[in-house]
Amino acid sequence: MAKKRQQRKRTDKSKYKSRFCPQETYITAAQFIIEIVCSNKARADKKELPYLFWDLPEWSKIWLTQLRGVHKLLKTYREDAIIRVLQDPKNSRVYSVYAPWLPPLFKKEHDRLMNIDKELEAQKAELTKHNVNISVGNKVRNTRISGRLGSLSEIDDE
């Protein structure tokens, strides 16, 4: 597995920095989530995870088992929702993504983040379209300002 985890630059897929690689390496959401879970388990067992711990026989089986579960979760929930739930101090005793009480937490956080995204999109749409009355001399024009730079377009009154 070490070959898959060689130093990687930050990309759209590999955007999380690994704590367990000797060089600055960016990893996928699935790998990052498993690092959180394994880190929690190591803390509970009063062990310290070394660099490249997934190559050790003790951790490789756990890594692969969790990987299957994480990929399943990522098909249903947003990666940031899963990460937020697992990084919450209340969930510091999560040692497996298969815990039966986790999916409702993931769903709740997923829905919350989706609602925030919808609100932001609505605010963005509201900010990009404004109707303004511009008076030039004796004429009043109803004009729509749109876009960040405020391009103007005339609106026909019907």
Can you tell me the distance from the alpha carbon of 154 to that of 129, in angstroms, rounded to the nearest whole number?
13
How many degrees, rounded to 5, is the angle at CA 21 between CA 19 and CA 22?
115
Structure tokens at 130: 């404004």
Using DSSP's 3-state secondary structure scheme, residue 49 falls into coil
Percent of the chain with pLDDT over 90: 53
Percent of the chain with pLDDT over 70: 75
Q: What is the overall mean pLDDT for the chain?
A: 82
Which DSSP symbol is given to 90? G
pLDDT per residue as tens digits for the range 60-94: 999 999 999 999 999 999 999 999 999 999 998 99
Can you tell me the distance from the alpha carbon of 68 to that of 121, in angstroms, rounded to the nearest whole number?
33
